[in-house]
Structure 1
Amino acid sequence: MKRIAIIGGTGVYSPDIFKNSKEIEVSTPYGNVTLLESQHSEAIVYFLERHGKNHKLPPHKVNYLANIYALKLLNVERVLATAAVGSLSEKLSPGTFIILDQFIDFTKNRPSTFFDGSNGVVHIDMTEPYCPELRNILIQSCKSLKINFNEKGTYVCTEGPRFETPAEIKMFKILGADVVGMTNFPEVVLAREANLCYATVAMVTNYAAGISKSILTHKEVMDNMASMTENIKKLFLTAIEGIPYARNCNCKNATLELGSLK
């Protein structure tokens, strides 16, 4: 069977996405990880709450290494992730889905690699940070469901947990970012180091500072995310059905010439 994981971010805490799920715990060298396990469309599907139960972990405290390592131990091959984001453009309004194709890292203090020396030195290629095969499946699924979305976008990841200043947003726009968030890095890099296929659906919940005509609040993010929950459920269920058994991308060979995650 296919083994697929969903990493749910802010506002996407939906055990009801899959019926008859059971809770499991996976022990990793970086800590224990709790997930929900279920089945859908000839696939074993794991649901991982990125921020933990009841949103108890801020972005800079999420144990990204343990989360991805746990998926590797479960023999997961594909990962579909969500990310609540602020828009840097009035053209990307709240409610829009974006199938990310690039990222910019502006985090500061996060462990961001499995290869810190103890597992060897690896310089992973990130020319295509997000799996092209998974991205295409998500794009086609959005089209079939008639969801309002953009086929690509650049995500800038900040350290958090504070929101960004208007000056920072202006800088990020100059650098080419389309949306801003606090969680996609190092998750996307760790997935590649683990040879997993990984793609993210960014969900625009608000305009960023300086773009928005009002101050930013977490309540606004949560309220707008709630309005998109049904569409993200439909999107992921449709995408899971469209994912082939065999991987036809190079994600599985990302560390082939460099060494592998132990």
Structure 2
Amino acid sequence: MLAVIGGTGLSQMAQLDVIETHQPTTPFGAPSSPIVRGRLGNHDILFLSRHGARHQYLPHEVNYRANIFALKALGATQIIGISAVGSLDEAIAPGHLAVPDQYFDWTRGRREPTFFGGGVAVHVSTANPVSANLVQWIERHAARLGTTIHTGVTYACVEGPRLGTRAESHFLRQAGCHVVGMTNVPEVFLAREAQICYATIGIATDYDCWMDDPTKHVQATEIFGLYRSSLEKAHQLLHALLSDERPAEERDIRTALQYAMLTPVAALSDQQREWITVLQR
């Protein structure tokens, strides 16, 4: 099943025929919002609002583990996220869409980064952290709509909630990053730990603050204003995607835990085995 994680300004999905609403609990706490299961286009999908139904959670306050676990427990095997991003590349203009295939983690350790630990040793491979099939699917439908979209993009995730300094912006550009945001880490890596195929549609709101022209250094109100106006592109793209068949799930992602867990199953508690079984589905 496909799940959609809505970002800033996308707390619900238009034209979603709601079948049921779940308020799950998980071993990692409560997810950000109730999870809606509904029908859109040719698919039953799950929808979760990353920042909460009232946008009450800052990026470092989001319970990413609970979000991903709850979606997996409800049957998600593929996830498309929607995110606001700042552009670190002049070619990615405000209003354009960008689909990252690489991530640079520049958070500060305030977020729980993994399901594992506490007696469960697991090391998943994240050399290629996103689903290439989902990226190609998104790119193909954006082209059909005439929507400008950038692939082959590296996303730098910063802690927030403040916007960055010019020094930080230049540092991330020199590190090879193309866009910057606050929410995709650890979300993308937790999805891999849960054996879920993942991709994000980033909506570029501004040029961050690396440009010498101070008029390009927009304020938060302008950023979110442009983001809201660009959400329609993301809505149209999602509707186009959901009118088509889902792409194949990559076997290496759906079996990511097969050789990654070092702790013997016999050494796990009953509770640990229970939630690990969910991740292994």
Per the alignment, residue 264 of structure 2 pairs with: none
Per the alignment, residue 269 of structure 2 pairs with: none
**Cα distance between partner residues in 2 of 1:105 and 1:226:** 26
Per the alignment, residue 117 of structure 2 pairs with: 116
Which deviates more, 236-245 or 95-104? 236-245
**Cα distance between partner residues in 2 of 1:227 and 1:21:** 29
Cα drift, residue 246 of structure 1: 5.0
Note if contact 2:97-2:150 (Cα within 8 Å) is conserved in structure 1. Answer: yes
CA-to-partner distance for each residue in 1:187-232, whole Å, 9 max, x for gaps? 0000000000100011101111232624443212221111112211
Unaligned runs of 5+ in 2: 262-272
Q: What value does the CA root-mean-square deviation take over the aligned residues? A: 1.8
**Cα distance between partner residues in 1 of 2:155 and 2:101:** 8
**Cα distance between partner residues in 2 of 1:130 and 1:220:** 30
Note if contact 1:164-1:209 (Cα within 8 Å) is conserved in structure 2. Answer: yes
CA-to-partner distance for each residue in 1:123-171, whole Å, 9 max, x for gaps? 1111111101111101111111110111221100000101110001111
Identical residues among aligned pairs (%): 33
Cα drift, residue 245 of structure 1: 7.2
Q: With structure 2 as the length reference, what TM-score do the two structures score?
A: 0.87
Note if contact 2:145-2:237 (Cα within 8 Å) is conserved in structure 1. Answer: yes
Per the alignment, residue 247 of structure 1 pairs with: 249
**Cα distance between partner residues in 1 of 2:248 and 2:170:** 42
Per the alignment, residue 69 of structure 1 pairs with: 69
Per the alignment, residue 49 of structure 1 pairs with: 49
Cα drift, residue 17 of structure 1: 4.2
Q: How does 1:211-250 map to 2 (within 5 A)?
A: 211=211, 213-214=214-215, 215-244=217-246, 246-250=248-252
Unaligned runs of 5+ in 1: none
Per the alignment, residue 99 of structure 1 pairs with: 99
Q: Number of residue pairs matched?
A: 259
**Cα distance between partner residues in 1 of 2:105 and 2:25:** 28
Per the alignment, residue 59 of structure 2 pairs with: 59
Residues 97 and 38 of structure 1: CA distance in aligned 2, closer, same or farther (over 3 Å): same
Instruction: Report the residue type matching 2:260 in the other structure.
Output: L
Q: Following superposition, which runs of at least 4 residues in structure 1 exceed 6 angstroms of deviation?
A: none
Per the alignment, residue 135 of structure 1 pairs with: 135
Note if contact 1:131-1:249 (Cα within 8 Å) is conserved in structure 2. Answer: no
CA-to-partner distance for each residue in 1:31-50, whole Å, 9 max, x for gaps? 22311220124422111110
Find the residue that maps to 1:133 and give its secondary structure: helix
**Cα distance between partner residues in 2 of 1:218 and 1:55:** 15
Note if contact 2:4-2:79 (Cα within 8 Å) is conserved in structure 1. Answer: yes
